[in-house]
Structure 1
Amino acid sequence: MVEYPITRAENGKKLHRFLRQNLPGLPLSGVYKWIRVGRVKVNRKKGKPDLVLHEGDTVQLFVSDEEYAALRRRGPKFQGVPRTFEILYEDGDLLVVNKPAGLLTHPDRQEHRDTLINRVLAYLYDKGEWDGRAFAPAAANRLDRNTSGIVLIGKHAQVLRELADEIRGRRVDKRYLALVHGRIETPGTLKQALIRDHEKNRTRLARERRGRHGVAPETLEAETRYRPLAVAERLTLLDITLLSGRTHQIRAHLAGVGHPLVGDIKYGGKPLRGLRHQFLHAYALTLADGRRFVAPLPAELRKLLESFGLPTDLPAETSTST
């Protein structure tokens, strides 16, 4: 018999998912059979596949050590995955990192290996904080590939759920610095709903409520607040508060009112003095408990602002509400 104590990392996981993760050599049909015939028990009692595990529980596997070893997944080696990223804050539950522009948060169809989350997993694996079998730490928020700034990583399932609830409940204050084309003189709020085109990887304003064949496309409510910080020539530096977290929300909202982000070619922006991606930096984030994290401005964005005589100091902790 093999006993497996449930730690905080597995807290809240269902029994069948726990077994699938820890015994990848056992097919799903085998998982259900083992539970049904009593080869798997929780606290020495038979359970059901959907039984929720809690920290302090003990899972008993009535299997030989040799069979258990054969069914276990080998820990990931992360060969070729860099471990380089900037850590803004870390404790036993939370990792706050400053993502550079050009790095994906999660794998996509083109890039599976070198992503922010894989770098984080490799880092935690090397430290011995994650063994590759328990719940995998994950990002609570996401930034576009060419957006830089703060990403929250929950190290445990419970922490990740709490962060997700805070973000959905708009109890997390998320601030961005953006440089846009055109002059904006006064603060404002954009509440235009959005429509996501997954095939084209674009987001557009929901001005047209009807789609093809008279079918209404799915619309997503979105709200963006902005405050002008400085103007130079026909450019405006904005302090932005993201009140909802839709994909490409800031980019689509500002482009929709005639002020695309500098460098954001996809949404009508133009490259400027060598910058060929959107000027958008998630510079500050405040959690519901009051903890505030700040990510310094990347060198290439700082250099561009300096070339126009625009301020490079990050905004103070003020409200952008109107």
Structure 2
Amino acid sequence: MENINTLQESEDQDLYEHLNIVVDKGQSLLRIDKFLMHRVENASRSRIQNAIEAENVLVNKKPVKSSYKIKPADEISIVFPHPPRDTEVYPEDIPIDIVYEDQDLLIVNKSAGMVVHPGFNNYTGTLVNALAFHFEQLPHLPGNEGRPGLVHRIDKDTSGLLLISKNEITMTKLAKQFFDHSITRKYIALAWGDIAENGTVTGYIGRSAKNRIIMDNYDDEEKGKWSVTHYTVLERLGYVTLISCQLETGRTHQIRAHMKHIGHPLFNDANYGGDKILKGTTFNKYKQFVQNCFNILPRQALHAQTLGFIHPTTRTYMEFEAPLPADFDEALSKWRNYIVQAPE
């Protein structure tokens, strides 16, 4: 029997899978598409051929065509996008901010507070419900059953750009770019503390042993998945710092967990301790100022500002930028005013 290993990697660890197959020494010559149809669970012929066309199927580290005939001891590597697990998505007429759209994909500027995909306790009111309504107004597209294809996700209370595929081949090609970490993703964040200089946080991100709803950064590869965040100081505001974070990997809560790990939790990030006054003075006036900022920005100060990728059809690089939403911008303005007025 072939040796088959499955690896799932993504922000939510269920958007695409990576399969490695070592062909058995007794295997006779056979077209790779036919071979994979019988070796990969729940893989239709179109799904396999789309993966081959997108160059997501490698044999001995090189892309091949559907007509390639596998040989004994060939090493096959495949990246598949996962379809949504939910069997029913109800279209809802919910306003969404579509930044860009063509026949293959669209870019959405998600508002804070909106859940991306239906799940436990969030079966309606999600971005996917809104997209399902939007897609009902479009021609039926083979391969996606009229539903938008999530290529990645951002947290409920994080605002910013999301990339959505409109057909299977586009989803397959984009999933490969995410898997290869070639997508450009930059976030703007407000973090507690005076961050001295630019830096990089690395480690293995996995579920916290003490609190399963948050992630921890570990040194042990057995406890999580490798993660890399590069951060750049944009503006120092006394007790908080405005930073830009560029993701090299995309793990669940990656920026939030990494900034907490280095002692600079994101401003008003309740799950990671940022909803307390971590830096500053003991004066009541200051405490009231911070509370006012919390009220203005009632969520973690994190915005997915920049998204860049190679368009699967045109092969050209595209980059989009979303301005700071009103709540983040207003809280930031208050901090700037506070620093100007603060005594030396």
Query: Would you call these one fold, judging by a TM-score over 0.5?
Result: yes
CA drift of 1:295 comes to: 1.1
Richer in strand (by share): 2
- Equivalent-residue separation in structure 1 for 2:170 and 2:270 (angstroms): 37
CA drift of 1:126 comes to: 2.7
CA drift of 1:134 comes to: 2.4
Counterparts in 2 of 1:254 and 1:50: CA distance versus 1, 3 Å: closer
Q: What letter corresponds to residue 219 of structure 1 in structure 2?
A: G
- SS of equivalent to 1:89: strand
Across the aligned residues of Structure 1 and Structure 2, the Cα RMSD in angstroms comes to: 2.6
Of residues 229, 248, 258, the one that matches 2:253 is 248
Kindly indicate whether the alpha-carbon contact (under 8 Å) linking 2:144 and 2:167 is maintained by their aligned counterparts in 1.
no
1:82-93 alignment runs, 5 A limit: 82-93=93-104
Deviations 1:74-122 (A, max 9, x none): xx8946x233100110000011000011011111200111111111111
- Equivalent-residue separation in structure 2 for 1:192 and 1:268 (angstroms): 20
Q: What letter corresponds to residue 302 of structure 1 in structure 2?
A: D
- SS of equivalent to 2:197: coil
Kindly indicate whether the alpha-carbon contact (under 8 Å) linking 2:94 and 2:125 is maintained by their aligned counterparts in 1.
no
Computing the radius of gyration over CA atoms, which structure comes out larger, 1 or 2? 1
- Equivalent-residue separation in structure 2 for 1:114 and 1:135 (angstroms): 18
Of residues 287, 307, 315, the one that matches 2:309 is 287
Counterparts in 2 of 1:93 and 1:268: CA distance versus 1, 3 Å: same
CA drift of 1:173 comes to: 0.6
Of residues 214, 229, 234, the one that matches 1:229 is 234
Of residues 194, 213, 216, the one that matches 1:183 is 194
Percent identity between the aligned chains? Answer: 31
TM-score after normalising by structure 1: 0.67
What is the total number of aligned residue pairs between the two structures?
A: 236
Further displaced range: 128-137 or 235-244:
128-137
- Equivalent-residue separation in structure 2 for 1:169 and 1:133 (angstroms): 23
1:51-66 alignment runs, 5 A limit: 52-53=45-46
Is 1:138 the equivalent of 2:160?
no
Is 1:309 the equivalent of 2:339?
no
Is 1:204 the equivalent of 2:197?
no
CA drift of 1:135 comes to: 5.9
- Equivalent-residue separation in structure 2 for 1:174 and 1:253 (angstroms): 16
Of residues 184, 200, 213, the one that matches 1:173 is 184
- Equivalent-residue separation in structure 2 for 1:174 and 1:234 (angstroms): 26
Task: Give 2:299's aligned residue.
Answer: 277
- SS of equivalent to 2:298: coil
- Equivalent-residue separation in structure 1 for 2:162 and 2:141 (angstroms): 19
Deviations 1:111-157 (A, max 9, x none): 11111111111111133446998263211110000001000000001
Counterparts in 2 of 1:233 and 1:194: CA distance versus 1, 3 Å: same
- SS of equivalent to 2:175: helix
- Equivalent-residue separation in structure 1 for 2:250 and 2:144 (angstroms): 30
- SS of equivalent to 1:221: strand
CA drift of 1:200 comes to: 2.1
Task: Name structure 1 gaps, 5 residues minimum.
Answer: 1-46, 56-75, 210-215, 311-322
- SS of equivalent to 2:317: coil
- Equivalent-residue separation in structure 2 for 1:179 and 1:260 (angstroms): 9
Q: What letter corresponds to residue 284 of structure 1 in structure 2?
A: T
Q: What letter corresponds to residue 130 of structure 2 in structure 1?
A: R
Deviations 1:153-180 (A, max 9, x none): 0000110111110011111110000000
Kindly indicate whether the alpha-carbon contact (under 8 Å) linking 2:188 and 2:303 is maintained by their aligned counterparts in 1.
yes
Is 1:109 the equivalent of 2:120?
yes
Task: Name structure 2 gaps, 5 residues minimum.
Answer: 1-36, 51-87, 277-289, 311-315, 338-344
